[in-house]
Amino acid sequence: MKKRFSSLIEIQKEINEGNLNLPELVQYYLTQINKNKHLNAFLEVFEEDAKEQAEEIQKKITLKTAGKLAGMVIAIKDNIVYKDHESSASSQILKGFTSLFSATVVERLLAEDAIIIGRTNCDEFAMGASNENSAFGPVLNAIDNTRVPGGSSGGSAVAVQADMCLASLGSDTGGSIRQPAAFTGIYGLYPTYGAISRWGLIAFASSFDQIGPFTSSVSDMSLLMNCITGKDENDASMAQIEALNIQLTDNTKPLKIAYINDCVNHEGLEESIQTKTFEFIEALKEKGHSLTPIDFPYLDQMVPCYQILTTAEASSNLSRFSGLTYGNRSNNAIDLESMYKTTRSEGFGAEVKRRIMLGTFVLTSDFYDAYYTKAQKVRQVIRQETLKIFENYDIILTPTTSTVAFKIGEKSNNPIAMYLADLFTVQANLAGIPALSIPYGTDDNGLPIGMQIMGKPFEESTLLQLAQQLQ
């Protein structure tokens, strides 16, 4: 879709040439947000804060003391907390909750003078693939308002798609950044597990969750990654690494790229996406890369493995929502136990309850070994086999999704069809490796298509350099 600016480089150029200042820029995005209210992408716009930040940072620009992200107007998903601002993870159970601290990613963005313009709608607790599970209504795809934007980070994707901000942050547990990026025609990255602090991210499945950016350009993606990655003493599960230092160049060395046969020839793959995938493969060959089809016979196991492990982790993570110390307590409680039960039953939506129930089931002593431990072992096999591919190849390629954006309501009564929307994306989360969705044209109806490239742990730079070459 047509955007006024598609990268921070363009904005900073306009500012430096004196054609634009930050208050004007913020006003432009606020007007865009207002114009696109019907899309339901934002749950709250931090209008006054953003205007104040714009004035302050404009002064810094004049004094030449501004940070690397001066001019970056960014939105955050409603499961990333921001001090003295509300966060609800799109759930009734957190309605009215105001955070006492900021997520590490938020602090790092602010430290480099980004402007946070609002919090975006998502599936409740990031559970979903269509943004239809939000307690505050679905988000609409800006290209076709009868279609979903994907999920769970649907609001963050549409905010960038419809030019309501330059970039946004989402979170990805099984595809929740890459699938909506593909459905809305923008870039979306799942970073290597452990590259970005989860401090201040409302947890869904802790061994899968990662925060990552949505952007319209590869340069913005690289810059944001350089600013938000690197160890944090508040998240001991992270890799103990310094921030990434991705420098895009004009020279992309020839890469060895493997594409997965089972994905590109999958029976559920829409013809338009298959055609585009082969076009993409040809385009890569023309740039001098070598492309090899490979077999990876675990496709049928990925979504089940993901479902068991993420629901187990979710049932444990979401036990903290008790109505006791924060959040929205039910008025129908008569004793302590009924306080928990009524608060949770009234506060959680159907999909969240379904996942808590499944997660509780696989963790009960009778079924723990048969399901939970088995899935952890299968995850080990999938990770080891995925890493083995990287002994011979630099990159693994698949389409991001098997379909284009589907109709609102089309899959909402069929949880399994909805879960299969993550078919090609969950591999990266299971293995903990970085994966980028690259917008690559549309089908005949103008609906966007995304290509997914996965890389070795902490080699986001290889993915972004390749995306830059194709841009």
Nearer to another protein, 344 or 456 (CB): 344
Is there a catalytic annotation at residue 77?
yes
* Cβ atoms of 221 and 189 closer than 8 Å: yes
Give the one residue of 16, 65, 98, 275 binding another protein; rule: CB under 8 A.
98
Residues 303-322, interacting with another protein (CB under 8 A): 303-305, 307-308, 315, 319, 322
Whole-number Cα distances in Å, 154 to 73, 161, 207, 341, 356: 18, 10, 22, 30, 22
Specify whether the backbone of 40 is left (phi greater than 0), alpha (psi in -120 to 50) or beta: left
Please tell me the distance from the alpha carbon of residue 73 to that of residue 83, in angstroms, as a whole number. 18
329 binds another protein (CB under 8 A): yes
Nearer to another protein, 114 or 352 (CB): 352
Nearer to another protein, 319 or 445 (CB): 319
Nearer to another protein, 207 or 272 (CB): 207
Nearer to another protein, 238 or 463 (CB): 238
Interface size with another protein, residues (CB under 8 A): 69
Q: Partners of 189 in the beta sheet?
A: 436
Stretch that binds another protein, among 107-115, 342-350, 396-404, 439-447 (CB under 8 A): 342-350
Q: How far is the CB of 336 from another protein (least distance, A)?
A: 5
Residues 264-303, interacting with another protein (CB under 8 A): 298, 300-301, 303
Instruction: Classify residue 288 as exposed, middle or buried by CB count within 10 Å of its CB (0-12, 13-18, 19+).
Output: exposed
Task: Name the nearest CA neighbour of 248 among 276, 217, 281, 215.
Answer: 217
The catalytic residue among 88, 91, 134, 152 is 152
Give the one residue of 178, 344, 411, 456 binding another protein; rule: CB under 8 A.
344
Q: How far is the CB of 265 from another protein (least distance, A)?
A: 19
Please tell me the distance from the alpha carbon of residue 471 to that of residue 467, in angstroms, as a whole number. 6
Q: How far is the CB of 311 from another protein (least distance, A)?
A: 9
458 binds another protein (CB under 8 A): no
Nearer to another protein, 1 or 241 (CB): 241
Q: How far is the CB of 93 from another protein (least distance, A)?
A: 11
Residue 127: alpha-carbon gap to chain centroid: 12
174 binds another protein (CB under 8 A): no
Q: CA-based angle 51:52:53, to the nearest 5?
A: 90
Identify the helix (H) or strand (E) that includes residue 292. strand 290-294
Which residues lie below 8 Å from residue 188, measured CB to CB, with a gap of 6+? 153, 157, 170, 172, 177, 178, 180, 181, 182, 212, 213, 214, 436, 437, 450
353 binds another protein (CB under 8 A): yes
Is there a catalytic annotation at residue 176?
yes
100 binds another protein (CB under 8 A): yes
Identify the helix (H) or strand (E) that includes residue 188. strand 187-190
Stretch that binds another protein, among 3-11, 56-64, 244-252, 378-386 (CB under 8 A): 378-386
325 binds another protein (CB under 8 A): yes
Which residues lie below 8 Å from residue 408, measured CB to CB, with a gap of 6+? 130, 132, 138, 140, 146, 147, 148
Q: At residue 340, what are phi and psi to the nearest 5 degrees?
A: -60, -50
- Residue where the block lists tokens 């492990």: 309
What is the number of other CB atoms lying within 10 angstroms of the CB of residue 237?
10
Tokens of 378: 């299968």
Is there a catalytic annotation at residue 152?
yes
Q: How far is the CB of 461 from another protein (least distance, A)?
A: 19
Which residues lie below 8 Å from residue 71, measured CB to CB, with a gap of 6+? 8, 11, 12, 15, 22, 25, 57, 61, 166
The catalytic residue among 176, 197, 402, 437 is 176
Nearer to another protein, 251 or 325 (CB): 325
Residues 175-204, interacting with another protein (CB under 8 A): 193-194
Give the one residue of 19, 249, 268, 334 binding another protein; rule: CB under 8 A.
334
Q: How far is the CB of 94 from another protein (least distance, A)?
A: 9
Please tell me the distance from the alpha carbon of residue 428 to that of residue 212, in angstroms, as a whole number. 13
136 binds another protein (CB under 8 A): no
381 binds another protein (CB under 8 A): yes
Please tell me the distance from the alpha carbon of residue 206 to that of residue 425, in angstroms, as a whole number. 17
383 binds another protein (CB under 8 A): yes
Please tell me the distance from the alpha carbon of residue 157 to that of residue 162, in angstroms, as a whole number. 9
* Cβ atoms of 298 and 382 closer than 8 Å: yes
* Cβ atoms of 404 and 410 closer than 8 Å: no
Stretch that binds another protein, among 18-26, 60-68, 155-163, 351-359 (CB under 8 A): 351-359
Residues 227-246, interacting with another protein (CB under 8 A): 233, 236-240
Stretch that binds another protein, among 33-41, 72-80, 98-106, 129-137 (CB under 8 A): 98-106
Q: Report the interface residues with another protein, using CB under 8 A.
A: 96-98, 100-101, 193-194, 207, 233, 236-240, 298, 300-301, 303-305, 307-308, 315, 319, 322-329, 333-342, 344-345, 348, 350, 353-354, 356-358, 360-361, 364, 371, 373-381, 383, 415-416, 419, 432
Residues tagged active-site: 77, 152, 176
